[in-house]
């Protein structure tokens, strides 16, 4: 076993941890689980020590960010938990009740200021940055700062996306850096109350649109981590989640990390889909009433949209008449 020290203030290292994430329109949540062969012995924030290994091992941790600053930290020990709040630039330990109460505070998530996101000149006041080290590549994920929304995405004079209607916005700009320059770009969008994604590749200094299939084929590692998406839980390893209710969307969205390969989708003990011959699920929507699911599955030669409906407690495939309001879009 190799000892790990986790630093809240440092970039996250995919070599040592498995990640999942969640964006509820206010807090960005990151769950980190040590990979097999590693165990956490200390959690710090720079020079401040928050936890050191004792009798109980640390199984995983959950970090909540509010903008670019940490907000809360949960440490799951084998038989207990530790809870921390970051306030006035200082960490303080709190109890479980306080932790849960503070996370449910409903700050105003509407009346957002529209801002222009420019890759060539990123304004730190407008973005929340999550940096992930992935071998030779570095992944940068940019979320709008609290009370702001990306209404255009550009790289200098090259306009990549623009809101067409009131309420349209970019929820996430993620690019993969190779040899110091952005190589692949992923946009998570809200368009006409529908979740959508666009993908680009930098070719000779120009951003060229690409399909989701090409993006995963070119970007995915040779040996991605096998993952299962369980729609009944909030945290799935190698899966990110957008909470749709805060954006006026009638479903939540789950999207696969490039580091993971989702080969099965379940709802607790019920299996909705299981991949064959290299198939993988890269996107899923789940209606808020938990009765409709849309899966986007990548095949060897393309992609497939699969639809499911829950009736009388059972999930069944739907081939016609699936409500458009529960569908996701990819370009």
Residue bearing the bigger pLDDT, 109 or 319: 319
pLDDT score of 107: 53
Q: How confident is the model at residue 258 (pLDDT cuts 50, 70, 90)?
A: confident
Do 73 and 156 reside in the same domain of the chain?
no
Q: What's the length of the chain?
A: 331
- Answer yes or no: do 10 and 89 share one domain: yes
Q: How far apart are CA 281 and CA 60, in angstroms?
A: 25
Grade residue 90 by pLDDT with cuts at 50, 70 and 90.
Answer: very high
pLDDT band at 300 (very low <50, low <70, confident <90, very high): confident
120-129 per-residue burial string, b: 16 or more CB within 10 A, e: under 16: eeeeeebbbe
| Contact criterion met (CB below 8 Å) for 201 and 207 | yes
At residue 106 the predicted structure's pLDDT band, cuts being 50, 70 and 90, is low
Residues 58 and 127 in one domain: no
Average pLDDT over residues 69-73: 92
Q: Please state, in angstroms and rounded to a whole number, the distance separating the CA atoms of residues 73 and 63.
A: 5
CA 89, CA 48: separation in Å to the nearest integer? Answer: 11
Residue 9: count other Cβ atoms within 10 Å of its Cβ: 11
Domain count, the chain: 3
**DSSP assignment of 191-248:** ETTEEEEEEEEEETTEEEEE-HHHHHHHHS-SSPEEEEEETTSS--TTEEEE-GGGGT
Task: Verify that 97 and 117 share a domain, yes or no.
Answer: no
- Contacts by 35-39 with C-beta closer than 8 Å and gap 24+? 37/1, 37/2, 38/1, 38/2, 38/3, 38/4, 39/1, 39/2, 39/3, 39/4
- Residue 301 falls inside a structural domain: yes
57 with 140, same domain: the answer is no
Please tell me the distance from the alpha carbon of residue 143 to that of residue 120, in angstroms, as a whole number: 16
Q: What average pLDDT does the segment 67-92 reach?
A: 92
Is residue 309 predicted with pLDDT exceeding 70?
A: yes
Average pLDDT (117-130) is 92
Strands (E), 239-313: 239-242, 251-256, 260-267, 270-274, 280-287, 292-298, 303-311
* Single residue among 103, 133, 168 that ends a domain in this structure: 103
Q: Which domain holds residue 16?
A: 2-103
Residue 56: per-residue pLDDT: 87
Mean pLDDT on 169-185 = 87
């Amino acid at each position: 076993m190799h000892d790990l020290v986790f630093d809240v203030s440092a970039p996250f290292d995919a070599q040592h941890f498995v990640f999942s994430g969640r964006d509820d329109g206010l807090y960005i949540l990151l769950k980190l689980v040590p990979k097999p062969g590693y165990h956490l012995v200390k959690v710090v924030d720079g020079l401040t020590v928050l936890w050191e290994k004792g009798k109980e091992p640390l199984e995983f941790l959950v970090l909540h960010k509010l903008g670019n600053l940490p907000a809360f930290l949960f440490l799951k020990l084998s038989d207990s938990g530790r809870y921390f709040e970051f306030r006035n630039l200082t960490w303080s330990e709190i109890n479980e009740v306080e932790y849960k109460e503070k996370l449910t505070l409903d700050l105003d998530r509407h009346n957002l200021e529209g801002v222009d996101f420019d890759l060539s000149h990123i304004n730190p006041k407008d973005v929340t940055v999550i940096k992930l080290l992935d071998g030779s590549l570095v992944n940068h994920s940019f979320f709008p700062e609290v009370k702001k929304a990306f209404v255009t995405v550009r790289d200098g004079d090259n306009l990549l996306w623009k809101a067409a209607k009131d309420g349209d916005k970019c929820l996430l700009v993620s690019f993969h850096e190779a040899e110091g320059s952005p190589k692949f770009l992923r946009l998570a969008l809200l368009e006409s109350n529908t979740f959508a994604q666009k993908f680009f590749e930098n070719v000779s200094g120009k951003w060229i649109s690409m399909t989701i299939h090409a993006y995963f084929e070119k970007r995915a590692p040779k040996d991605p981590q096998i993952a299962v998406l369980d729609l009944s839980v909030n945290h799935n390893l190698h899966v990110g989640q957008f909470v749709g209710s805060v954006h006026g969307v009638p479903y939540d969205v789950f999207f696969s990390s490039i580091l993971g390969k989702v080969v099965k989708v379940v709802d607790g003990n019920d299996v909705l889909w299981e991949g064959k011959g290299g198939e993988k699920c890269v996107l899923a929507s789940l209606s808020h009433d938990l009765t409709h699911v849309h899966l986007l599955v990548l095949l060897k030669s393309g992609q497939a949209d699969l639809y499911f409906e829950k009736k009388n407690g059972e999930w069944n495939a739907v081939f016609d008449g699936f409500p458009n309001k529960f569908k996701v879009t990819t370009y």
